[in-house]
């Protein structure tokens, strides 16, 4: 007995052939479809609209383009020169500068509008710091904001302050000022639609300070001339003007020093018993004669009034012995006087009247670039002026005039001096 398979044999070859043909057809369709999509696109022309460019893309490929006509301005014209370019390159060129982008889903190109990044919301805190009792503003008070950046500002002359660029949130302010109690302002709510303005009053908190003592570094025992090692002393013009009965005369002032003796009726100076005419006088480094009015009337070397006012004198050195080599022609002592410089920043004027005479002085800058200045002083005897108004008054040979001009810079000086008339 034979098997049924021997009578009805089963042949599978034709079915396998059909399946192979079907699979090959599908592959050919996919390749053709892919080739059609990846085929280069050419767009050339001047003044082409986006709508016309989109139509050329649809004509040269299997893609369809979808976009919102009310939002995308497809009528704007541009010039294009694209040859055998891929779909991505073409779309990037078309949408450049429009604010639009795209994405591809199968054979559909969908245009989407780019989303702008959200702007960072910031706000400001403004305020004013004042004295709680007087209500006056407090300038230069330190205001510190307590956040992760720990920012701080100073109030202006009106007491106002401001913080900028703060994100919304809750903030605390600490305010401090010298002489006042510190203050903490809590829970300032900062939102985007509200800019807070805070007023902070501080309570005065005075505290005692240690005593401040200001001393002058001037050493009067050290002369102005560095060559003087012993037997010298520096005297300022202010000292002679403050000396009681000194008539602004430094010669009368030195009579109070040890080893120096003077006279009540004149300004003669006797040093260690030497006669007054043995005293040497120097002005601006030059030896001068006895600079006194009515000299040698009662005593040789003395006089009644000094021809040099304390208004024009700077510093002077008084030597009683051990003279340096630059000094000579003196046995008892030396008066080495210097004239002061005028004010090289501002003009100043003064007038003074007294028993000695009427003084008029002026000083000020000559040139700001060279720091040059001038100093002018004029003195006329009081009795000579009275005689002009009272002719019958018997005053003979008691008049004098002292003009003086000192000008120059700190490095070069010129002095014009004249006394007596």
Per the CB < 8 A criterion, the answer to whether 71 and 113 are in contact is yes
The encoded tokens of residue 374 equal 């001038």
For 390, residues 6+ apart whose C-beta sits below 8 A from its C-beta are: none
Per the CB < 8 A criterion, the answer to whether 131 and 138 are in contact is yes
**What's the rounded Cα separation, in Å, for the pair 248 and 357?**
12
Per the CB < 8 A criterion, the answer to whether 220 and 233 are in contact is yes
Tens digit of pLDDT at every position of the chain (421 positions)? 333 344 334 444 444 444 444 444 444 444 444 444 445 788 887 778 888 888 888 888 888 888 777 777 777 787 877 888 888 888 888 888 787 888 888 888 888 887 766 677 888 999 999 999 999 999 999 999 876 667 899 999 999 999 988 888 888 899 999 889 999 988 888 888 788 899 999 999 887 778 888 876 656 556 666 666 566 777 776 676 666 556 677 777 777 777 788 776 777 888 878 888 888 888 888 888 888 877 766 667 677 778 787 778 877 888 887 777 777 777 888 888 888 888 888 889 988 887 778 889 999 888 766 678 888 988 888 777 777 777 666 666 667 888 888 887 655 555 555 444 5
Per the CB < 8 A criterion, the answer to whether 340 and 363 are in contact is no
- pLDDT tens digits for range 357-374: 888 999 988 876 667 888
Closest CA to 66 of 76, 81, 80, 54: 54
State residue 126's pLDDT score. Answer: 92
For 169, residues 6+ apart whose C-beta sits below 8 A from its C-beta are: 147, 190
Q: 34 burial class (0-12, 13-18, 19+ CB within 10 angstroms)? A: exposed
Determine the angle formed by the axes of helices 50-60 and 87-94, rounding to 10 degrees: 170
Per the CB < 8 A criterion, the answer to whether 175 and 129 are in contact is yes
């Amino acid at each position: 007995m034979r098997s049924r398979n021997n009578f009805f044999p089963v042949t599978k070859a034709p079915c396998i052939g059909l399946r192979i043909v079907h699979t090959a057809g599908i592959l050919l369709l996919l390749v053709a479809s892919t080739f059609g999509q990846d085929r280069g696109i050419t767009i050339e022309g001047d003044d082409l609209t986006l709508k016309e460019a989109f139509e050329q893309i649809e004509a040269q490929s299997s893609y369809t383009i979808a976009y919102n006509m009310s939002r995308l301005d497809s009528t704007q014209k541009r010039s294009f020169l694209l040859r055998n370019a891929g779909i991505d390159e073409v779309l990037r060129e078309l949408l450049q500068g429009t604010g639009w982008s795209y994405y591809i889903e199968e054979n559909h190109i969908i245009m989407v509008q780019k989303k702008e990044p959200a702007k960072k919301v910031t706000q400001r805190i403004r305020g004013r710091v004042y004295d709680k009792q007087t209500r006056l503003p407090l300038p230069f008070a330190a205001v510190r904001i307590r956040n992760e950046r720990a920012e701080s500002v100073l109030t202006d002359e009106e007491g106002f302050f401001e913080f900028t660029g703060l994100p919304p949130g809750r903030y605390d302010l600490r305010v401090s000022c010298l002489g006042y109690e510190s203050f903490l302002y809590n829970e300032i709510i900062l939102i985007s639609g509200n800019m807070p303005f805070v007023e902070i009053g501080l309570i005065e908190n005075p505290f005692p300070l240690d005593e401040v003592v200001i001393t002058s570094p001037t050493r009067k025992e050290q002369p102005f001339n560095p060559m003087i090692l012993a037997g010298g002393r520096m005297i300022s013009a202010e000292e002679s003007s403050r000396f009681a009965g000194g008539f602004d005369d430094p010669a009368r002032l030195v009579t109070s020093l040890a080893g120096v003796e003077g006279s009540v009726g004149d300004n003669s100076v006797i040093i260690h018993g030497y006669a007054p005419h043995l005293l040497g006088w120097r002005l601006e480094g030059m030896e001068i004669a006895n600079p006194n009015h009515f000299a040698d009337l009662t005593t040789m070397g003395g006089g009644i009034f000094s021809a040099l006012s304390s208004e024009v004198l700077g510093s002077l050195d008084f030597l009683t012995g051990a003279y340096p080599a630059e000094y000579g022609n003196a046995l008892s002592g030396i008066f080495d006087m210097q004239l002061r410089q005028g004010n090289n920043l501002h003009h100043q004027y003064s007038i003074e009247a007294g028993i000695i005479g009427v003084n008029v002085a002026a000083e000020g800058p000559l040139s700001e670039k060279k720091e040059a200045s001038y100093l002018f002083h004029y003195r006329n005897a009081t009795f000579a002026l009275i005689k002009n108004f009272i002719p019958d008054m018997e005053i003979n040979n008691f008049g004098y005039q002292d003009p003086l001009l000192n000008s120059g810079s700190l490095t070069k000086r010129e002095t014009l001096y004249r006394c007596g008339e």
